[in-house]
């Protein structure tokens, strides 16, 4: 698999030092692109490798990772198809860039967090951990996957009008029932990110960077 054959417009930022073995899969929100979250990634884990794709769906000219029918109403068929497409891209990018498939940590905001959550539910082998900023429940699967080797941080706003606290709790219940180690950070704000969210993500990520491989994981 060569770089030119990868199916998403994307950025690949090689890492440096010890953190380079961890790859942050940066997944932007509605209207973002492959460059939007690179500075956030550098802040969360300096030196980490980054893989940042651009969503292929356009909503009024704004890139997204999947279609929605209305605010908070997802096109589940499209979501699931796009989830498989993204997971295949991650697999192929690992081959093209010689990335460690056992050190892939999704960092998603809003729409990006939602497709990361969907990936954990549909194609969990594509990710080993995830930071989900302001996620919603993408869908409820008929059968939950085994997420017992996954670590997930959910960063939620107590006054978020889009991803409300009930959505956050429902998503956490799904992940916990599937066996994931789930941690939540509550922010006294809305849908926007705050400094407290970033600090919480930094602290959480520092505990797993370099130890995401389940064979070496200290649970």
Domain boundaries defined on the chain = 3-208
pLDDT confidence of residue 78: 98
Please say if the pLDDT value at position 1 is more than 70.
Answer: no
pLDDT digits (tens, 9 = 90+) for 108-167: 999 999 999 999 999 999 999 999 999 999 999 999 999 999 999 999 999 999 999 999
191 annotated active-site: yes
Please say if the pLDDT value at position 62 is more than 90.
Answer: yes
Please say if the pLDDT value at position 4 is more than 80.
Answer: no
Torsion of CA 106, 110, 111, 115, to 10 degrees: 40
The position carrying tokens 């698999």 is 1
Tell how strand 49-53 and strand 57-59 pair up: unpaired
Contacts 24+ apart (CB under 8 A), 193-198: 193/109, 193/133, 193/134, 193/155, 197/133, 197/155, 198/40, 198/43, 198/44
**Among 13-22, 70-79, 181-190, 204-213, where is mean pLDDT lowest?**
204-213
187 annotated active-site: no
Question: For 176-196, what is the mean pLDDT?
Answer: 95
Question: For 160-183, what is the mean pLDDT?
Answer: 95
Please say if the pLDDT value at position 215 is more than 50.
Answer: no
Q: Which of 12, 88, 191, 213 is catalytic?
A: 191
159 annotated active-site: no
Please say if the pLDDT value at position 211 is more than 70.
Answer: no
Instruction: Count Cβ atoms below 10 Å from residue 62 Cβ, excluding itself.
Output: 14
pLDDT confidence of residue 71: 83
pLDDT confidence of residue 214: 44
Q: Which of 10, 160, 187, 197 is catalytic?
A: 160
Which residues have CB under 8 Å from 141's CB, separation 6+? Answer: 121, 122
Q: Residue 105 in contact with residue 24, Cβ under 8 Å?
A: yes
Distance (Å) of CA 166 to CA 12, 29, 102, 154, 158: 35, 20, 32, 13, 10
Phi, psi of 180 (to 5 degrees): -70, 155
Query: Between vectors from CA 88 to CA 87 and to CA 93, what angle results, nearest 5°?
Result: 100
Looking at CATH, the fold of the domain delimited by 3-208 is given as Rossmann fold (3.40.50)
pLDDT confidence of residue 210: 55
CA atoms within 13 A on the CB side of 16: 3
pLDDT digits (tens, 9 = 90+) for 67-113: 999 888 999 999 999 999 999 999 999 999 999 999 999 999 999 99
Q: Which of 36, 110, 187, 197 is catalytic?
A: 110
């Amino acid at each position: 698999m060569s770089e030119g054959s990868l199916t998403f417009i994307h950025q690949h930022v090689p890492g440096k030092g010890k953190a380079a073995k961890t790859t942050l899969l940066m997944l932007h929100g509605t209207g973002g692109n492959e460059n939007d979250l690179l500075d956030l990634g550098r802040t969360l884990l300096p030196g980490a490798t980054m893989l940042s794709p651009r969503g292929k769906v356009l909503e009024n000219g704004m890139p997204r990772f999947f279609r929605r029918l209305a605010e908070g109403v997802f096109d589940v068929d499209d979501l699931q198809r796009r989830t498989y497409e993204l997971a295949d891209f991650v697999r192929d990018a690992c081959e093209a860039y010689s990335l460690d498939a056992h050190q892939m940590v999704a960092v998603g905001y809003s729409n990006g967090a939602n497709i990361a959550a969907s990936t954990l539910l549909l194609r969990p082998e594509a990710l080993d951990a995830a930071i989900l900023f302001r996620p919603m429940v993408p869908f409820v699967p008929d059968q939950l996957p085994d997420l017992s080797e996954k670590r997930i941080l959910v960063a939620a706003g107590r006054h978020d009008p889009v991803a409300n606290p009930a959505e956050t709790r429902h998503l956490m219940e799904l992940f916990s029932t599937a066996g994931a180690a789930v941690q939540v950070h509550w922010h006294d704000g809305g849908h926007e990110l705050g400094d407290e969210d970033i600090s919480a993500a930094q602290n959480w990520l520092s505990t797993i960077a370099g130890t995401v491989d389940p064979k070496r994981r200290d649970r």
